[in-house]
Amino acid sequence: MSEYLIEIENLNFSYPSGPVVFKNASLKLQKGKKVGLIGPNGSGKSTLLYIIMGLIKPESGEIKIFGKARQTEKDFYEVRRRIGLLFQDSDDQLFSPTVLEDVAFGPLNLGKKPEEAKKIAVEVLDRLGLSGYKLKVPYRLSGGEKKLCALATVLAMEPEYFLFDEPTAELDEEHRARFASILKTFSSYLIVSHDRELIKSLTDQWFYVADGKIRHVEAIESLKI
């Protein structure tokens, strides 16, 4: 049993329009670590998250997640059930008529019965302090509320690992603090962010993405995030 949750080797990927994003890049992520992924805009950080979730297929490379090689769409079904991805834009993540249904969407897809899915959704919303939001319509919420509801939708699937794509980008100070305090209760995740303070306070292992490569970094003070 490999100690690594996610292993990527010899990753090659370019956008259809041309620019090379990854050239023989590699990355190994362990369970129980809080990882920060940093790098300049356009370096491919979000793309890497999508590759891990199988939303984008690389040109070449070995991807092993939970000890199994992942290549076809079917291989990634298990990945999506066990790893949660929080998108940068909450509007993309909240697509159901009410918050409750959005949060229940994940459990329903996992095979839970409607009653059970509803119970899980209510529990997760209560845990995040969003009890009053069950019947609210997602597109009428504020940025911070949307982000927390989006987090609830991911939490409801009880994933083993989390991927956060610029989680505090749309948040004001109050919601940023709230988000950070929720994150403190998680044990393993990967955060992509430009927020220096967030990275410093919530992560203890860092990777720098630039020029097609993913490099492990010892001290982030030296780098420009």
CB of 85 vs another protein, minimal distance in Å: 5
Which string of DSSP letters, residue by residue, matches 128-195?
A: TT-GGGTT--GGGS-HHHHHHHHHHHHHTT--SEEEEESTTTT--HHHHHHHHHHHTT-SSEEEE-S-
Q: How far is the CB of 56 from another protein (least distance, A)?
A: 9
- Residue among 2 and 142 whose Cβ is closer to another protein: 142
Q: Which residues bind another protein (CB under 8 A)?
A: 50, 53-55, 77, 80-81, 84-85, 87, 89, 91-93, 95-98, 100-101, 104-106, 108-110, 114-115, 117-118, 138-140, 153-154, 157
Q: Tell me how far, at minimum, the Cβ of 153 lies from another protein, in Å.
A: 7
Distance CA 66, CA 92 (A): 27
- Residue 123 vs 211, nearer CB to another protein: 123
Q: Which is nearer to another protein, 2 or 71 (CB)?
A: 71
Cβ-based nearer residue to another protein, 110 or 180? 110
Distances (CA, A) of 204 to 21, 33, 44, 169, 195: 25, 7, 21, 20, 15
Task: Closer to another protein by CB, 100 or 225: give it.
Answer: 100
Bridge partner residues of 217 (DSSP): 206
> For residue 162, which phi and psi values (nearest 5 degrees)?
-120, 145
At its nearest, how many Å lie between another protein and the CB of residue 81? 5
Classified as helix, coil or strand, 204 is: coil
With respect to another protein, which residue has the nearer C-beta, 3 or 97?
Answer: 97
Cβ of residue 17: shortest distance to another protein, in angstroms? 14
Give me the half-sphere count of Cα atoms (radius 13 Å) on the Cβ side of residue 33. Answer: 16
Residues near 132 by beta carbon (within 8 Å), at least 6 away in sequence: none
The distance of closest approach from Cβ of residue 65 to another protein in the complex, given in angstroms and rounded to an integer, is: 14
Read off the tokens for 181.
């305090």
What's the angle, vertex CA 121, arms to CA 119 and CA 126, rounded to 5? 95
